[in-house]
Structures are given as C-alpha cells and as structure tokens.
Amino acid sequence: MNGFYKIAAATPRLSLGDPAANAKELVRLTKEAAKDGVAAIVFPELSITGYTCGDMFFRDELLRAASAAVEVFAAKTASLPLVSIVGLPIAEGPAIYNAAAVVHGGKVVGTVRKHALPNYGEYYERRQFTPAPADEPLTVFDVGSFRFGVEICEDLWTPVPPSSLMAECGVDVVFNLSASTDFLGKSQRRRSLVEQQSMRLGCAYAMACAGTGESSSDAVFGGGSLVATEGRTVAEGRLFDAAPQIVAADVDVAAMRHRRRSSSSVYCAHSVPEAERKVVPVAAELPEHAPDAVSRSPFLDEYGEDGWWRKLLDIQSAGLARRMSSASVGKLVVGVSGGADSALALLGASAALDRMGLERDSLLAVVMPGFGSTKTSHNRAVALAEAVGASVRVVDIRESCRRHLSDIGHVEGIHDIAYENAQARERTQVLMDLANMEHALVVGTGDLSEIALGWNTYNGDHMSMYQINASVPKTMVLAALRHIASESEERLGDILRRTASSPITPELIPDAAANDSEVRLGPYELHDFFLFHYLVDGATADKLREMAQIAFAGVHSPEVVDDTLYKFIRRFRAAQYKRNCVPDGPKVTLSLSPRADWRMPSDM
C-alpha cells in the first residue's frame, strides 16, 4: 500500500544455552509474524544461545551449536517473504564477537558485529567478546523497498551510535538486538533512547528485548520490546510477561523518506568521513501491508501533547505581543462573526493583551452583519466579545455593500462570487480603517485549512496585520475551543461549546444551506487529513484515498472521500497565489507561508 510495511520485534521464550531449541522457537515466531504480513522481524541479542551464558561462550560446543542453529533457522524460514535478524556469538580466530545475522531466502545475507561492549555493573562483555574492528565498514541493508541498519544493545547507548553514522545512506528502519536488564526506571530510559534516535534519524526503530529464560542470578530481563517512529513509541510489549511476544507496527516508509528529504540535518553524518559505509543489497520482495487502522486526526496526533491548547494560545499571544511591541501599538482589532475561527483569534488576542499587562478593553471586537448573517451568530459574537472583556462595536455592512454592488453594475438578486466577496472586502476595509483610527493592529482570523483551500477572499479576509490562526487547521480550532471551554468560567465555556458545535459557514448568502462550507467543500476532517499527509508525508492522491477509506470507514462513503479529495487537490494547487502574499503569523503546526514550510509557483 504505497510504502507501508509492518515491522516487528520479538521476545521469545529462551532455552538458555540450547541453540537448537532456540532456533525452533525463533522459527515458530517468524512463521507467526509472516502470517501477519510482517516484512522484517528482529530478535534479542544473542537470541540463539541466550545472553547470560557467561564463560560458556568460550566453549567450542556452544559456538558450533549456535552456528548450526542459525543454518537450521535459515533453512526453515527460506520460503517466508520476510527478513529476520537473529543474535548469536561468532568465533573468528582467537576472537568471539557478539553479532547479528541478517537472514532471508534460506541464507545469511550479512552479519553485523557489536561495537560497544559494556563492562560495568552487571555487564562484563569484554571478558568474553571482542568489539567490532574500528575500521569495519558500517553496513546498511537494501531490500529495494526500504533500507535498514542493525545495531546491538549498548551501541545505542553510546554518544554516537552506529545508526547515526548510517544516516547518510538513508536508513528507513533500524533494528536493535538488546539484552537490557530491568530495574526501576530502566524501561523508561530505554524507551526514551529509542524514541530520540528514531527522531534524529527520521526513521523507524525496532528494539527486541530479552525476557523469560535468561539467568536471574544478578539481574532480571523483563522483555518490553518496542517500535518507535520519528520520536514516538507506536508499539510496545508487556514487561515481565512469561509468554513469548511479537510487537509489530505499520511504518510508512514512503512518508519517512519524504520527511527526510525535507530535513537536511539528517545527513550531517558526512561530517564523520572516516566512518566507512557500505550498502549490501538483499534480493527480497517484501510484502507491503495496509495498516489496520489510520488516525482520523493526524494533526492532533502529531501536535496534541498534554495541554496543547494552552501552548497554542501561548504561541499565538507571544507572537502577537511581539508584533504589538515592534509596531508600538497597545490596541487590537478583531472581526468577530460568531464562528470558531474568530472565537479562537479573540482568545489569542485577549491572551496577548494579558501578556503585555494591558486592559482587555484595548481589544476592539467588531461585529459586522452582512447579507447572510443570522441573529444567532450575531448574538453569539456579541456575547463572546463581552465575555472576554473586549470593547464591542457593531458595524452593519449591508447598505454599504448594496451601494458598492450598485456602483459597479452588479445585478441585484444574483448571489455570485462578487456578491460574496464584496462583503468580505468591506469587512476588511472596516477593520483596517478602525485600526488606523485607534492606532491598533488588525488580527486575522483565517485558519490553516481555509488558507490551504483558498477558502478566503483575496484582499478580504485573506489580509490582516497579523494572522494568528494561520497555522491552526480547522479540526484543531474546534478541538481547542472545546478544551478551553472545559477550563473556562461557565458563561464563556457555554459560548465556546456552542460555537464549536455550530455549522461552519461564512454567512455570505441569505440561504443557510448554501452557506454551509462543508456542503460546498466537503468535510473539514477529510481536508485536514489530506492536508497533513500531503504536506508532511508527501502522500500521492492514490495513497490519500486508500488511507482515508481506512480511517473514515463507516463515517464517510468512498464517494464522499473521492469527491473531497478531488476538491482538495484542485483547490490547494489553485490557491497558491493567495499563499504567496500572506500576512505574517506564528507557526503552531505547519505553515503555508512562503517564508516558512511551503514554497510553490502560483501557476503550477
């Protein structure tokens, strides 16, 4: 499915010192993973023998048995369409290496030796093992559909892990074979390391942790295998569970590659030229895997940390306060419609005044009823402005718009785009002129979704002196209002809840059904879904369609998905000329400003 693969990390039931029994267990788990569509699976460090064999690693019988067991494992998994990474000791001359074997198609296609051997606390690996030679090239395996690297436990805990030096080769996944012991706080540290490395490399990171069967003479091995992608744990096994576990997750390799192309810092590894790298091709056709579930709210997943709505207001108010200071103004003007966007802008503007120690009545909330305005929205706009302590002014624009339309020869009764846009531009003129009179700044209200779709009037609501919602998508605007409502006093909370649950409409036409933006455009939750994956993941139209049909199954029909996707792509490309001259505004999630995240010719 357009670059989705399932990867897995397993914690098997170990038979300490019995390679034949361990190979049998690894074969069983590998077959189970293959049935589930897994493309690559990693097992713990020294999983063929067990990590805690101590000085038994010196003995020929254990080393020979380990080598034979890997051959058996390879033969018995030869027909499976996946790559396996298993841990074993490898003897070469007088040295014994803690190593990983990459297995596919009935053979070992490559080995990786451990670089960092811990020799502290409960670890004394240098007693039995030799570190990988310093001049050994770092190996990246290329299966065509994705590239992966392998490192072994302590390698990740070093200041510069081997995987960091593989970045220049474009690793999509890193597999770590681990035998990390568990004590209080250890699993959290381990997870943090995996998350940080996956974030640095812009990749997926799968760590297989040793568990049941390892010796507990001096420490306990709790399992807890995990998979992280780009800084977040997406799958994690249970700690101290006696049963074998396979932890699997769908990873979007195509999306990760797109993100890395947009982030040159991932390739800083060229600053370590002495680290030789080699790419080993692996002749494998790995199964793509359609994800079992796809989030309907990618923006909230990506940016929705605890209390994100408070931080959103902090970003908006800090940016606006800085602009007020540089412009030497102490007042703000906001056009308030009774809708969600202007409600959030009003809250952000109020927070900016608080930040500067100014009174809330320095905020002028302007309500401008037009041809499609309803009494409900008008009353809600006034009530909201009063609830936040703003000064309120009502400016009825209907007569001035009629006069303007008459002046340009517009035929009365025709509700075309000129009819709609005349109102938007008149409102902007009112706001700008009031700001000039009051020595104030006009705070824009339009959100990221509208900017993406061009659902704003050029030189109308398109324009302001600072656009604080410009980086906040519609779904996040609505979610923020609901969260803020839950933390507000009763009157304000009730207004915000009603605002967030009302139909989304610019109220430009005296026809409620014709005003509904989602009737005309399609559902905003679909547009935001498409926008995120289009910009962040570089998803194609086909991939957007397939993902949306999984995410919104039973919510939106395939016909609605297709129609909304068509409108999204068409409108997004056509609206670039508006985005090429957007006002300044703070980055909260993604920014479509040509000075920030998105540059594109208007006539593409």
Check if the beta carbon of residue 457 is closer than 8 Å to that of residue 282: no
**CATH code at 380?**
3.40.50.620
CA distances from 405 to 229, 367, 369, 428 (A): 55, 21, 17, 16
How far apart CA 477 and CA 119 sit, in angstroms, is 53
Burial of 375 per CB tally in 10 Å (0-12, 13-18, 19+): exposed
Considering the domain architecture, whether residues 233 and 334 belong to the same structural domain is answered as no
Check if the beta carbon of residue 31 is closer than 8 Å to that of residue 262: no
How far apart CA 334 and CA 392 sit, in angstroms, is 10
How far apart CA 179 and CA 598 sit, in angstroms, is 44
pLDDT of residue 277: 82
Cβ within 8 Å of residue 481, ≥6 positions away? 340, 343, 344, 496, 497, 499, 500
Q: Is the pLDDT of residue 586 over 50?
A: yes
The two tokens of residue 151 are 């490192």
Q: What is the DSSP string of 423-440?
A: HHHHHHHHHHHHHHHHTE
As a whole number, the mean pLDDT across the chain is 94
pLDDT of residue 223: 95
Q: Which residue has the higher pLDDT, 273 or 320?
A: 320
Q: Establish if 543 belongs to a structural domain.
A: no
Token pair 């779709």: residue: 453
Q: Establish if 561 belongs to a structural domain.
A: no
Long-range Cβ pairs for the range 572-580 (8 Å, 24+):
572/452, 572/453, 572/454, 572/531, 572/534, 573/604, 574/454, 575/451, 575/452, 575/453, 575/454, 576/600, 576/601, 576/602, 576/604, 577/458, 577/602, 578/451, 578/454, 578/456, 578/458, 578/462, 579/451
pLDDT of residue 269: 47
Q: Which of 25, 53, 125, 153 is catalytic?
A: 153
Backbone angles phi, psi at 415, to 5 degrees: -100, 65
Q: Is the pLDDT of residue 483 over 80?
A: yes
Considering the domain architecture, whether residues 247 and 368 belong to the same structural domain is answered as no
Q: Establish if 177 belongs to a structural domain.
A: yes
Considering the domain architecture, whether residues 257 and 138 belong to the same structural domain is answered as yes
SS3 9: strand
How far apart CA 42 and CA 30 sit, in angstroms, is 9
The two tokens of residue 317 are 């108010």
Q: Establish if 587 belongs to a structural domain.
A: no
Residue 387's pLDDT band, with cuts at 50, 70 and 90, is very high
How far apart CA 347 and CA 340 sit, in angstroms, is 11
Catalytic annotation on 45? yes
Check if the beta carbon of residue 420 is closer than 8 Å to that of residue 508: yes
Residue 1's pLDDT band, with cuts at 50, 70 and 90, is low
Closest CA to 575 of 422, 448, 412: 448
pLDDT of residue 262: 82
Residue range of the domain that includes 368: 304-518+575-579
Considering the domain architecture, whether residues 73 and 118 belong to the same structural domain is answered as yes
Considering the domain architecture, whether residues 352 and 249 belong to the same structural domain is answered as no
Backbone angles phi, psi at 441, to 5 degrees: -110, 140
Catalytic annotation on 153? yes
Considering the domain architecture, whether residues 176 and 325 belong to the same structural domain is answered as no
Check if the beta carbon of residue 264 is closer than 8 Å to that of residue 523: no
The total domain count for the chain is 2
196's enclosing H/E stretch is helix 186-201
**CATH code at 77?**
3.60.110.10
Considering the domain architecture, whether residues 276 and 331 belong to the same structural domain is answered as no
Q: Establish if 526 belongs to a structural domain.
A: no
Q: Establish if 554 belongs to a structural domain.
A: no
The two tokens of residue 96 are 């014994």
Low-confidence winner among 132-136, 223-227, 462-466 (lowest mean pLDDT): 132-136
DSSP state of 140: E
CA distances from 187 to 230, 233, 249, 253, 310 (A): 19, 12, 19, 27, 30
SS3 193: helix
Q: Which of 114, 474, 543, 578 is catalytic?
A: 114
Residue 170's pLDDT band, with cuts at 50, 70 and 90, is confident
Considering the domain architecture, whether residues 182 and 321 belong to the same structural domain is answered as no
pLDDT of residue 514: 74
Q: Which of 45, 168, 236, 546 is catalytic?
A: 45
Instruction: Give just the sign of the alpha carbon dihedral 308, 312, 313, 318.
Output: positive
How far apart CA 93 and CA 263 sit, in angstroms, is 44
pLDDT of residue 265: 64
Check if the beta carbon of residue 110 is closer than 8 Å to that of residue 139: yes
Considering the domain architecture, whether residues 276 and 398 belong to the same structural domain is answered as no
Considering the domain architecture, whether residues 421 and 471 belong to the same structural domain is answered as yes
Catalytic annotation on 543? no
The two tokens of residue 154 are 């302590």
Q: Is the pLDDT of residue 408 over 90?
A: yes
Q: Establish if 552 belongs to a structural domain.
A: no
Considering the domain architecture, whether residues 127 and 243 belong to the same structural domain is answered as yes
pLDDT of residue 208: 98
Q: Establish if 545 belongs to a structural domain.
A: no
Considering the domain architecture, whether residues 370 and 451 belong to the same structural domain is answered as yes
Burial of 123 per CB tally in 10 Å (0-12, 13-18, 19+): middle
pLDDT of 496-541, one tens digit each?
Answer: 999 999 999 999 998 777 779 999 999 999 999 999 999 999 999 9
Long-range Cβ pairs for the range 186-190 (8 Å, 24+):
187/222, 187/224, 187/239, 190/224, 190/226
DSSP state of 53: -
pLDDT of residue 515: 79
pLDDT of residue 267: 56
pLDDT of 252-310, one tens digit each?
Answer: 999 999 998 887 665 554 455 556 788 999 999 999 988 989 999 999 999 988 999 99
pLDDT of 100-138, one tens digit each?
Answer: 999 999 999 999 999 999 999 999 999 999 999 988 899
pLDDT of residue 274: 55
The two tokens of residue 493 are 């909370």
